[in-house]
Amino acid sequence: MNFGVFFVFAALSACCPTNYETKTEPVAHMKVFFTPSTDCEQNIIAEVNKAQQMDIAVYSISNIKIVDSLINAFHRGAQIRIITDRTQAKGKGSLVEKLKSAGIPVVTNKKTKIEHNKYAIFDNKHVVSGSYNWTENASKFNSENCVFFDQLSEEYSRRFEYLWNLYQK
């Protein structure tokens, strides 16, 4: 088995202890990128530019190129929801307020210590996940990764809905 496919199986299987069964279907299409480089950033922006619906859970968001693409997508009518960490949202360089000012719904973790997820679901079909923080430092200096794949089960979407509802309260 390809290591990347194994990683996705492991991530899907271990992502969330729930009362529903995790599906470990084969991944139809997958791309893996590493930083330092702009590969994660550019591929996230490409997904944002074509998606009509996005559910995003990220620990930190301070990459102006990604934020600008999200705001442009929102202005063209894309539905976007963002979950992020409350401490990171208030941190130096955070662009969370810019996203909120544009009208994009953003919630922060209220029931957990850290919102450390780093994934996005595009049109309920495509997912990016990995260690990549949506920051300029992640692209320029850090050793991080992002994995793009087709969502064949609804694990990421179910987890996003669970967190979105939890943090709305």
Q: Cα 74 to chain center, whole Å? A: 16
- Known catalytic residue: 75? no
- Known catalytic residue: 31? no
* Residues forming beta bridges with residue 149, ordered by sequence position: 30, 127
Sequence-distant (6+) residues with CB within 8 A of 36 are 139, 140, 141, 142, 143
Catalytic annotation, pick one of 65, 123, 126, 150:
123
Task: For 3-154, list the strands marked E by DSSP.
Answer: 30-34, 53-58, 79-84, 106-108, 118-122, 126-129, 145-150
Regarding beta strands 30-34 and 145-150, do their DSSP bridges make them parallel or antiparallel, or are they unpaired? antiparallel
Catalytic annotation, pick one of 118, 140, 150, 169:
118
- Known catalytic residue: 123? yes
Catalytic annotation, pick one of 65, 68, 98, 116:
116
CA dihedral 108→147→4→38, nearest 10 degrees, is -130
Q: Which residues are catalytic?
A: 116, 118, 123
